[in-house]
A = this chain, B = another copy of it.
Amino acid sequence: MQLDRIDRNILSVLQGEARITNQELADRVGLSPSSCLNRVRKLQEAELIGPYLGIVNLAKLFRSVTVVATVSLKDQSTEAFRCFQEAAQAIPEVVECHVVSGSFDLFMRIVAPDMLRYNAINDQLLDVLPGEVNISSHVVLHTPKEFSGYPLNELWEGYN
């Protein structure tokens, strides 16, 4: 799929203001509402954008603990990775999981109601491959910059 400047603008706007109306979006990118809607649908069908998330303010809802955990696997076989990933995915409190190269193998973000329950999740993950998993936990103290979309303009510039 070939994207022009207008498509890029649509993606930029939509990634930061998912609930914008089609009319407003059309105005911003300089299209008629119908043309704009056509484009948005094509972008969605091509899965270039979506899902659309509402970011909940956890801190205002209840006390909770967010932990970033790094994982090292003693046995770095494909099979071991597969096992661990599957287990991690299945745990709702593991909100994010990445396989990385570097001084550890996986990275996770975990949100739990309190430390006691985080401990339980940690134990559960350690039990997936007993003795083969090393988890290093880091409690999030505060978050100077929350994710709110990718730097599309910078990435496009870099792409040319």
Interface residues on A, range: 35 or more
Q: Which chain B residue shows the least CB distance to A146?
A: B96
Q: Which of B49, B138, B155 is A54 in contact with, Cβ under 8 Å? A: B49
Chain B residues whose CB sits within 8 angstroms of the CB of A54 once the complex forms:
11, 14-16, 18, 49-50, 52, 149
Oligomeric state, in number of copies?
A: 2
Chain B residues whose CB sits within 8 angstroms of the CB of A88 once the complex forms:
144-145
Are the C-beta atoms of B144 and A56 separated by less than 8 Å?
no
Query: Does A79 sit at the interface, judged by CB under 8 A?
Result: no
Residues of chain A having any CB pair with chain B under 8 Å: 3, 11, 14-19, 46-58, 60-64, 66, 68, 70, 85, 88-89, 92-104, 107, 109, 111-114, 117, 136-159
Are the C-beta atoms of A60 and B89 separated by less than 8 Å?
no
**CA–CA, A141 and B55, complex, Å:** 26
Chain B residues whose CB sits within 8 angstroms of the CB of A96 once the complex forms:
143, 145-147
13 contacts between A and B (CB under 8 A): A14-B54, A15-B53, A16-B53, A18-B18, A48-B57, A48-B61, A50-B55, A58-B155, A64-B155, A70-B70, A99-B141, A100-B140, A102-B139
Are the C-beta atoms of B117 and A62 separated by less than 8 Å?
no
Chain B residues whose CB sits within 8 angstroms of the CB of A51 once the complex forms:
16-18, 55, 148
Are the C-beta atoms of B18 and A53 separated by less than 8 Å?
yes
